[in-house]
Amino acid sequence: MAGVLVIAEHLGGNLTAISRELVTIATELKKQLGGLVSILVLSDGTGDLADQANLMGVDTVIYGNVGSAHFDAMIYEDAIVQVSLRVRPSAILFGHTSNGMACAAGVATRLGLGFASDVIAIEIAGNEMVATKTAFGGKVNLELAFPNKEAVALTVRGATFKPSEAAGAATIVNSELDLSKIAGRAPHLGYLEAPKADVDISKADIILSIGRGIREPENIPRFTNLAKTLDVTLGCSRPFSDAGLMPKAHQVGQSGTTASSCKLYIAIGISGAVQHLFGMKHVEKIVAINTDVNAPIFGVATFGSTVDALLLATAMEAQLGICENDK
């Protein structure tokens, strides 16, 4: 028993980003587990999803026609169990998404696998797989082992690993599936798009992020205007989005969005709680502004200053030629 099976997700005929991230993880695990990296694509036989899933690092694309391009937890669970019994992977990787969470635990139960959800890191230690996840509101990390389990099923948090983008040279095979025993299949009526946000933190190159150190909500427009003038993306810490002062789409952190593409992160008035650090501590260049010399964010910052956030705003406005009427 060896290798990794990735469960692909797709929407509107396109492979999703989490599927590409899972391929990256699977490729790394393969180096220690051996075997093949396979990716399972379930759809209705239309489109080019199998070709999209043919990514660098994938050995085999397994395509299963389930008669629908839309996710159904019962169908996916049964199909994944059938394919897993054939390929016998050491690990089955799902995205920690509404789709992955709807079927992963059922797959693990039916196959007798070890199981962990919302995983943020995976490693092999002494020939044993160890999955890391957060707990207690993101305040601690837990390392989970799976004694006496030959295989595991894991749901993996998105925007955590670099997605695989390059095309591969995998073998594409069709897998015959028997779905006749599934009772109560529900018809798909439609898909409702999520409300569009004005920013995408996960794709921003430069983020200017603000926290409680700017003191009053009335100061938010000043930093909004600074970000606009600098042509960078405005982010925030959780208290701002929880209080409804800024849209959730701007929140960086564990319960917000990971700044996965960010090259420069400017944190103004942010102390650096564990939940926030999760979303940005991987960034190559971090500039931290906080009057508290003991603020945790200085532990990950490339450059830091204890200047007052509002004094900094005033200096930046003067440098950029922003007058009072512009604020």
- Asked whether this chain's domains 4-174 and 201-326 adopt the same fold, the reply is yes
Which of 80-94, 171-185, 226-240 has the lowest average pLDDT? 171-185
**pLDDT at 82 (0 to 100):** 97
Which residues, at least 6 apart from 233, have a Cβ–Cβ distance to it below 8 Å? Answer: 199, 201, 204, 206, 207, 208, 227
**pLDDT at 193 (0 to 100):** 78
Alpha-helix residue ranges (DSSP H) falling in 190-259? 220-230, 238-242
Which residues, at least 6 apart from 216, have a Cβ–Cβ distance to it below 8 Å? Answer: none
Total Cβ atoms within 10 A of residue 218: 8
Which residues, at least 6 apart from 320, have a Cβ–Cβ distance to it below 8 Å? Answer: 226, 229, 230
3-class state of residue 261 by DSSP: coil
Higher per-residue confidence, 259 vs 43: 43
Higher per-residue confidence, 326 vs 94: 94
Q: How does DSSP assign 15-26, residue by residue? A: E-HHHHHHHHHH
**201-326, CATH topology level:** Rossmann fold (3.40.50)
CA gap 64, 299 in Å, rounded: 48
Percent of the chain with pLDDT over 70: 97
Residue 258 has pLDDT above 90, yes or no: no
CATH number of 4-174: 3.40.50.620
pLDDT digits (tens, 9 = 90+) for 101-143: 999 999 999 999 999 999 989 999 888 899 999 887 666 789 9
Which of 75-79, 122-126, 228-232 has the lowest average pLDDT? 122-126
pLDDT digits (tens, 9 = 90+) for 171-226: 999 999 999 988 877 788 888 876 777 888 988 999 999 999 999 999 999 999 99
Residue 18 has pLDDT above 80, yes or no: yes
Residue 327 has pLDDT above 70, yes or no: no
pLDDT digits (tens, 9 = 90+) for 284-301: 999 999 999 999 999 999
3-class state of residue 284 by DSSP: coil
Burial 35-61 (b: 16+ CB within 10 A, else e): bbbbbbbbbeeeeebbebbbbebbbbb
**pLDDT at 324 (0 to 100):** 60
CA gap 76, 54 in Å, rounded: 20
**pLDDT at 125 (0 to 100):** 86
**pLDDT at 237 (0 to 100):** 93
**pLDDT at 185 (0 to 100):** 77
Q: Where are the domains of the chain?
A: 4-174, 201-326
**pLDDT at 145 (0 to 100):** 96
- Taking a C-beta distance cutoff of 8 angstroms, is the pair 262, 281 a contact? no
Tokens of 271: 């102390």
Task: Give the pLDDT mean for 253-275.
Answer: 88
Tokens of 284: 């190559």
Percent of the chain with pLDDT over 90: 72
Residue 91 has pLDDT above 80, yes or no: yes
Which residues, at least 6 apart from 255, have a Cβ–Cβ distance to it below 8 Å? Answer: 138, 238, 275
pLDDT grade, residue 311 (50/70/90)? very high
**pLDDT at 325 (0 to 100):** 56
Residue 261 has pLDDT above 80, yes or no: yes
pLDDT grade, residue 256 (50/70/90)? confident
Residue 13 has pLDDT above 80, yes or no: yes
Say if pTM beats, i.e. exceeds, 0.95.
Answer: no
pLDDT grade, residue 153 (50/70/90)? very high
**pLDDT at 278 (0 to 100):** 79
Rg of the chain over CA atoms, in angstroms? 23
**pLDDT at 137 (0 to 100):** 65
